[in-house]
Chain A
Amino acid sequence: SQKIEQNSEALNIQEGKTATLTCNYTNYSPAYLQWYRQDPGRGPVFLLLIRENEKEKRKERLKVTFDTTLKQSLFHITASQPADSATYLCALVGSARQLTFGSGTQLTVLP
Chain B
Amino acid sequence: DAMVIQNPRYQVTQFGKPVTLSCSQTLNHNVMYWYQQKSSQAPKLLFHYYDKDFNNEADTPDNFQSRRPNTSFCFLDIRSPGLGDAAMYLCATSRDPRGEGETQYFGPGTRLLVL
Binding site for B on A (CB under 8 A): 4, 9, 31-32, 34, 41-46, 49, 51, 89, 93, 97-104
Tally of A-B Cβ pairs under 8 angstroms = 57
Q: How many residues in B have their beta carbons less than 8 Å from beta carbons of A?
A: 25
Cβ contacts under 8 Å, A42 to chain B: 108-109
Within 81-97 of B, Cβ neighbours of A (below 8 Å) are at 88, 90-92, 97
Residue in chain A with minimal CB distance to B90: A43
* Interface of B, helix, strand, loop or mixed by DSSP: loop
Cβ contacts under 8 Å, B44 to chain A: 101
Does B40 touch A at the CB level, under 8 Å? yes
Min Cβ gap A107→B in Å is: 14
Binding site for A on B (CB under 8 A): 4, 40-45, 48, 88, 90-92, 97-98, 100-109, 111
- Tell whether, in the assembled complex, residue B104 and residue A99 are in contact, meaning their CB atoms are under 8 Å apart: yes
- Tell whether, in the assembled complex, residue B101 and residue A49 are in contact, meaning their CB atoms are under 8 Å apart: yes
Q: How far apart are the CA atoms of A49 and B92 in the complex, in Å?
A: 17
Min Cβ gap A98→B in Å is: 6
- Tell whether, in the assembled complex, residue B40 and residue A99 are in contact, meaning their CB atoms are under 8 Å apart: no
